[in-house]
Amino acid sequence: MKYPNRLNLANLPTPLTPLERFTIPNFDVKIWVKHDELTGMEVSGNKIRKLEFTIAHALDEGCDVLITCGGVQSNHCRATAILGARLGIKVHLILRGEKPEHPDGNLLMDYLVGAEISFLPQREWGKHVELAHELQQQYHQQGSKAHFIPIGATDEIGLWGYIAASEELKNDFETNGISPDYIVPATGSGGTQGGLVVGSKLFDLPGQVVAFNVCDDAEYFDNKIREDVAFWKQSYNMELNEDDLDICTIEGYVGPGYGTADKEVFKTIAELARIEGLFLDPVYTGKAFHGMVNEIQKGAEGRLPRASNVVFVHTGGLFGVFPQQQNFKFD
Ligand X SMILES: Cc1ncc(COP(=O)(O)O)c(C=O)c1O
**In the complex, minimum distance from the CB of residue 186 to ligand X, in angstroms, rounded to a whole number:** 4
Question: Applying CB under 6 A, does 191 fall inside the site for ligand X?
Answer: yes
Q: CA-to-CA distance for 68 and 308, rounded, in angstroms?
A: 40
Question: Applying CB under 6 A, does 166 fall inside the site for ligand X?
Answer: no
**In the complex, minimum distance from the CB of residue 151 to ligand X, in angstroms, rounded to a whole number:** 7
Mark 256-285 with x for binding to ligand X (rule: CB under 6 A) and - for no binding.
Answer: -------------------------x--xx
Question: Applying CB under 6 A, does 324 fall inside the site for ligand X?
Answer: no
Q: CA-to-CA distance for 223 and 237, rounded, in angstroms?
A: 21
Q: Which stretch binds ligand X (CB under 6 A): 11-19, 95-103, 187-195, 239-247?
A: 187-195
Between 40 and 152, whose beta carbon lies closer to ligand X?
Answer: 152
Question: Applying CB under 6 A, does 189 fall inside the site for ligand X?
Answer: yes
Site for ligand X in 128-157 (CB under 6 A): 152, 154
Site for ligand X in 22-61 (CB under 6 A): 45-46
- Do β-strands 16-18 and 30-35 pair in parallel, antiparallel, or remain unpaired? antiparallel
Between 91 and 139, whose beta carbon lies closer to ligand X?
Answer: 91
Site for ligand X in 73-92 (CB under 6 A): 75-76
Of 39, 54, 166, 187, which one interacts with ligand X (CB under 6 A)? 187
| Total number of residues that touch ligand X (CB under 6 A) | 20
**In the complex, minimum distance from the CB of residue 95 to ligand X, in angstroms, rounded to a whole number:** 14
Q: CA-to-CA distance for 72 and 93, rounded, in angstroms?
A: 10
Between 79 and 310, whose beta carbon lies closer to ligand X?
Answer: 79
**In the complex, minimum distance from the CB of residue 113 to ligand X, in angstroms, rounded to a whole number:** 17
Question: Applying CB under 6 A, does 188 fall inside the site for ligand X?
Answer: yes
Question: Applying CB under 6 A, does 106 fall inside the site for ligand X?
Answer: no
**In the complex, minimum distance from the CB of residue 159 to ligand X, in angstroms, rounded to a whole number:** 10
- Do β-strands 208-213 and 16-18 pair in parallel, antiparallel, or remain unpaired? unpaired
Between 136 and 187, whose beta carbon lies closer to ligand X?
Answer: 187
Between 10 and 139, whose beta carbon lies closer to ligand X?
Answer: 10
Catalytic residues: 74
Residues comprising the chain, all counted: 331
Of 190, 255, 259, 291, which one interacts with ligand X (CB under 6 A)? 190
What value does the CA radius of gyration of the chain take, rounded to a whole number of Å? 19
Query: What residues have CB less than 8 Å from 223, skipping those under 6 apart?
Result: none
**In the complex, minimum distance from the CB of residue 266 to ligand X, in angstroms, rounded to a whole number:** 16
Residues near ligand X (CB under 6 A): 45-46, 75-76, 152, 154, 186-193, 281, 284-285, 315-317
